[in-house]
Amino acid sequence: MYNSGSILHLNSQTILITNFSEQQYEYILLQGQSSGKFDVEINNEKTLYADTSKTFWNILPDSLEVSSSISSVKLNLVYKNIILSRTSSYYDQVHQKQMNQEFIPNKSKVNYAGRVFDADEMTNLVDSSLDFWLTYGKYSKKFEKEFAKKVGVQHCLLVNSGSSANLLAFMALTSPRLGERQVLRGDEVITVAAGFPTTIAPIVQYGAVPVFVDVSLENANIDTNALQGALSSKTKAIMIAHSLGNPFDVQTIKDFCNKNNLWLIEDNCDALGSLYNDTLTGSFGDIATSSFYPPHHITMGEGGAVYTSNDTLNSILMSIRDWGRDCWCPSGRDNTCGKRFSQKFGNLPHGYDHKYIYSHFGYNLKATDMQAAIGCAQLDKLDSFSQKRKDNFEKLYNGIKQFEKFLTLPSATPKSSPSWFGFLLVVKQNDHFSRSELSQYLEKNKIQTRTLFGGNMVKQPLFDDLQLDLDYRISGDLNNTDIIMNDAFWIGVYPGMTNEKINYIISKFAAFFDNYNEL
C-alpha cells in the first residue's frame, strides 16, 4: 500500500493521497500514453498524462489530504470527477442492465412510452446537484440557448411543465402591451376538442371563449375547411396542437392567421423534432410550447418550454413566468439596466426599487437547474430519438397495414415528416368488435394502449358547469371528434421500443384478427 505519503501532482498542484493501493498506482502508470487533461506525477517517480476517463477517477480513493500548495478549486474538481465517474458506473451497473433486460413475450410489458437515457443525463444531474444552485442557473441558460438554436427561433424560456408552457403562452396574449391585439375576456380562440385539456384550460380560466371545430379523421388534426365558419369579429387567436407528432396544415393555418390578424399558439408538446416543409415544428407559431414529461420526445422529468422569435412577446413571457415582474435582471444580479432606483411606475413613489415592480399578473413557472441539466443531455439525443420514432412507426405500419379492412391507419400530413409521438388507430365500424374490446385484448397481453387524450373535451365532466354559446362555442359539428372519442386509440413508438417488442405487437394484432379472417 502507498499510504499517506503517496503524492499525486495535478498540473503542478500537489495532493496527498491516503489508502492508495499498489494496484491503483500501477493503473495510473499504465495510462502514461493516454491523452488527458491532467499532468500527473506520483512520488516523483514518473511524470505522465493520466487517463481522465471514469476508470481513472474510479480508482482514486475517497479520502484525499491536501498539501499546502493546492487550491480548494483544484481539490473540488478532483472530488467532483470522482463522484461523476462513480455515477456513470452506477448507471452501467444498474440502469443499463435494466434497459437491456431480455424481452419475454407474454410476460414483459410493452409500454407506450418511457424514459430513454444514459450516463450523460445522470452525470449532468449529479453535477448540477453538487453545485447546489437549485434554481435557474448555468444549465438552464445553456438549455434555452441550445433549444432555441435547434428549433430555429430567437428565444426560449424554460418552465416547469408543458401545461405551464401553454398557460404562459396564452397569458402572454392578454398583456396590455399588445394594444389592439390583446386578448380580452370574451374574445374567442379557435381550437379543437380532440386533444389534451391544458391546451384549452388557459383560455377558459382567463375568461376567453374557446371555439371548437372538428378534426380530420385521417390525422386527428384541425379541419382547416372549418376555419372560416368559426371566425367572428371577436376571434383573436388560434391555439392548436400537432396531433401525436403529425403536423397540422401549417401553411393554411398561417395564411388564415395572417389574413385575419390572428395570433397562432403552436402546441408542439407532442411533435418536437417533426418537420413541415423541411422546417422544424415549433418555429411557425407566434409562440410555441413543448413538454418534457417522461413520455415526450425528450425529458427532464417535469419540465417544458415556451419559445418565440418575437422580441415583445419574449419580454412579456419572461415577465409572466417570473412573478410578473418588470425587472429583467438575471437571477443573482442587480441593476442591469442602471436605473434601479431612478424610475417612476404606476402610483408608486419615484425611485421605487425596480426589482419589485410588477407589470403583469404572473406566476413562478421556472424549472430547476437540475431539470435543465438532464434536458441538456437529452437535447443532444433529439435527432437520434426522432429517427428511432420514425423507424418504429414504419415497422408498425408495415406489420399492421394487413388489417386495414378493420382499422384506419395513420399517415403523415402533406409536406410533413413527423417525429411520431404515437401510432393512432381508428377501429372501422363493424358488428363484431369495438375499440374497447381490441384495447382490452392488447392490455391483457401486456401491450399498453391510450385513447387520444380527452377524446371530445366538451363531453368531459369539466364542461358540466360551462354554458354553451356563452363560455364556449362549437362551430359546425364535431362528428369526427366523436368518432375518435369512441373508436380511436394509439400505441407507442418511443425510442425504447425494440424490434422484439414491435414484432410481438404485430403478432398480437394478427392473433386478434385471426378470428375475423372470413369476414
Give 136: exposed, middle or buried? Use CB within 10 Å, 0-12, 13-18, 19+. Answer: buried
How far is residue 519 from each of residues 134, 316, 426, 514, 515, measured CA to CA in Å? 61, 59, 18, 10, 9
Asked if 154 and 315 count as a contact pair (C-beta separation under 8 A), the reply is no
- DSSP output for 158-183: EES-HHHHHHHHHHHTT-GGGGGG--
Cβ neighbours for 171, distance < 8 A, ≥ 6 positions apart = 202, 206, 320, 360
Phi-psi region of 303 (alpha: psi -120 to 50; beta: other; left: phi over 0): left
Asked if 15 and 27 count as a contact pair (C-beta separation under 8 A), the reply is no
DSSP β-ladder status, 279-280 and 416-417 = unpaired
Asked if 139 and 369 count as a contact pair (C-beta separation under 8 A), the reply is yes
Distance CA 233, CA 94 (A): 59
Phi-psi region of 282 (alpha: psi -120 to 50; beta: other; left: phi over 0): left
Count CB-CB contacts under 10 A for residue 346.
8
Phi-psi region of 277 (alpha: psi -120 to 50; beta: other; left: phi over 0): left
Q: Which residue pairs from 428-434 have beta carbons closer than 8 angstroms and sit at least 24 positions apart in sequence?
A: 428/487, 429/487, 430/406, 430/519, 432/516, 432/519, 433/516, 434/487
Distance CA 291, CA 196 (A): 12
Asked if 126 and 84 count as a contact pair (C-beta separation under 8 A), the reply is yes
Which position among 155, 242, 296, 360 bears the catalytic label? 296
Q: Which residues of 230-246 are buried (b: 16+ CB within 10 A; e: fewer)?
A: bbeeebbbbbbbbbbbb
Distance CA 284, CA 152 (A): 10
Q: DSSP letter for 93, please.
A: I
Q: Residue 350 CA to chain centroid, in angstroms?
A: 43
Output phi, psi for 230, to 5 deg. Answer: -85, -15
Task: Assign 11 to helix, strand or coil.
Answer: coil
| Structure-block grid coordinates of residue 17 | 493521497
* DSSP-based helix, strand, coil % in the chain, nearest 5: 40, 20, 40
Q: Would you call 155 a catalytic residue per the annotation?
A: no
Task: Assign 241 to helix, strand or coil.
Answer: strand
- Annotated catalytic residues are 296
